[in-house]
Amino acid sequence: MSELKKTALHGQHVDLGAKMVPFAGYDMPVQYPLGVKGEHLHTREKAGLFDVSHMGQVFLTPDDKDFATAAKALEKLVPADIQSLEPGQQRYSQFLNEDGGILDDLMISRLGMAGYEHVLYLVVNAGCKDDDYAHLEKHMPNNVKVSVKDDTLSLIALQGPRAAAVLACLNPDVEKLTFMTHTDLELKGTLNTPVWAHVSRSGYTGEDGYEISAKHEDMVRLVEELLSYDDVEPIGLGARDSLRLEAGLCLYGYDIDTSVSPIEAGLIWSIQKHRRSADAGYLGAERVASDLADKSTKRLVGIKPDGKAPAREHTEVQDMDGNTIGEITSGGYGPSVDGPVAMGYVARKFFKSGTPVQLLVRGKPRPATVVKLPFTPHNYFRGN
């Protein structure tokens, strides 16, 4: 067994009393002394700080410094419209294989700094990143350079209703950002030396907040600064999972993988209309168009179990006659909902919100209901 990797913030996690677990090849904090429920509720009420440095950060740089060159190249691998990105804009999409299955989901940004507007910045999932990098190297033309920065850059997320007020203490310009936009700036606060950072107003909790990329050595200082604020608590993988589940956000390897298309996963909103045809020119476009036209046979939905017993992944979903109609992909206790929540795939005729279903838990059918996602309303900041 290979030795677990450590992020630049590993020592801080240990000092803060984190319980460390293996995750995607890294030794990561699953919870701190506050506990998963406490961390979850603190993020919903104030601000939570997450180490997401295990995720992959990669830049695509065209030799001719023409943004269209990089955008057109990436558009052959993802269904999203990349060419229309303005400097400082960010977009969510997926890498698809030739059969339209999801290889990974990712964030795609067009840099906004003067002189760098032609560069694309991607953030990919930790468990898929090596395969993603190989996929990019294989398919990018020779005139688009693929630069992986995991050895030099760390990544954190600051999420929650107090995130903007806290980060504005380090640079008030962050409050000008709206959801899915980003900038590069200095963060200072009480730091002796400012930290140069890439800051996007986005995240994985359903709350307002930011993702911040900076050099390893600078991130250690920045995290110390952020944790000095009373509103900020460190948050582990446990609460990260319950927060994203309540927000109805997919987790790769659970809710999405190569066995499902973006349409089946309910991600049609991430594919612009002119990119939904079979001849759109990206890997898997035929499957996307086919699933749209034929109304795919299954769909990811929210499922609310009755009572207090949670339904975990791989739990069988049945109709009221006991016939198998699907499977839970993510499930657990939702602290903000104060009850069990789940997501899973069900057959087409059971998509509709309000449909009664049964969950086979420990061999016994338990009542549940198909519900509209998310379980907890999104609080993204889209402008005043």
CATH architecture, domain defined by 297-371? Beta Barrel (2.40)
* Terminal Cα distance for the chain, rounded: 51
Q: Within a 10 A sphere around the Cβ of 41, how many other Cβ atoms?
A: 18
Q: Within a 10 A sphere around the Cβ of 145, how many other Cβ atoms?
A: 13
- Pairing mode, if any, of strands 195-200 and 209-215? antiparallel
The phi and psi torsions of 63 (rounded to 5 degrees) equal -60, -35
Q: What is the C-alpha R_g of the chain?
A: 21
Question: How confident is the model at residue 218, as a pLDDT?
Answer: 98
pLDDT single digits (tens) 136-176: 999 999 999 999 999 999 999 999 999 999 999 999 999 99
At residue 45, the 3 state secondary structure works out as helix
Q: Within a 10 A sphere around the Cβ of 45, how many other Cβ atoms?
A: 14
pLDDT single digits (tens) 271-304: 999 999 999 999 999 999 999 998 778 999 999 9
Beta bridge partners of residue 233, listed in sequence order: 48
pLDDT single digits (tens) 29-49: 999 999 999 999 999 999 999
| pLDDT tier, 1 (very low <50, low <70, confident <90, very high otherwise) | low
Across the range 202-228, mean pLDDT stands at 98
* pLDDT, averaged across the chain: 97
The boundaries of every CATH 2.40.30.110 domain in the chain are: 297-371
Rounded-to-integer distance, Cα 326 and Cα 344, Å: 7
The percent of residues in the chain predicted with pLDDT above 70, rounded, is: 100
pLDDT single digits (tens) 62-119: 999 999 999 999 999 999 999 999 999 999 999 999 999 999 999 999 999 999 999 9
Asked if 330 contacts 337 with a C-beta cutoff of 8 angstroms, the reply is no
Q: In what order do the strands lie in the sheet with 153-159?
A: 182-187, 195-200, 209-215, 153-159, 47-51, 232-235
Across the range 325-335, mean pLDDT stands at 98
With 0.95 as the threshold, say if the pTM is over it: yes
- Pairing mode, if any, of strands 316-318 and 324-334? antiparallel
Question: How confident is the model at residue 295, as a pLDDT?
Answer: 78
Question: How confident is the model at residue 362, as a pLDDT?
Answer: 87
Q: Within a 10 A sphere around the Cβ of 87, how many other Cβ atoms?
A: 18
The percent of residues in the chain predicted with pLDDT above 90, rounded, is: 97
Across the range 350-357, mean pLDDT stands at 97
**C-alpha to C-alpha distances, 37 to 224, 334, 339, nearest whole angstrom:** 23, 9, 12
User: Which uninterrupted H or E stretch holds 146?
Assistant: strand 144-148
CA 351, 352, 357, 360 torsion-angle sign: positive
What is the CATH code of the structural domain delimited by 10-54+152-246? Answer: 3.30.1360.120
Across the range 188-197, mean pLDDT stands at 97
Question: How confident is the model at residue 59, as a pLDDT?
Answer: 98
Identity of residue 317: V
The phi and psi torsions of 325 (rounded to 5 degrees) equal -125, 0
Residues 6+ apart with CB under 8 A from 47: 158, 159, 160, 161, 162, 163, 166, 209, 229, 231, 232, 233
Asked if 179 contacts 380 with a C-beta cutoff of 8 angstroms, the reply is yes
pLDDT at 309 > cutoff 70: yes
The boundaries of every CATH 3.30.1360.120 domain in the chain are: 10-54+152-246
Asked if 324 contacts 344 with a C-beta cutoff of 8 angstroms, the reply is no
CA 33 from centroid of its chain's CA atoms: 25
Asked if 119 contacts 71 with a C-beta cutoff of 8 angstroms, the reply is no
Rounded-to-integer distance, Cα 41 and Cα 70, Å: 41
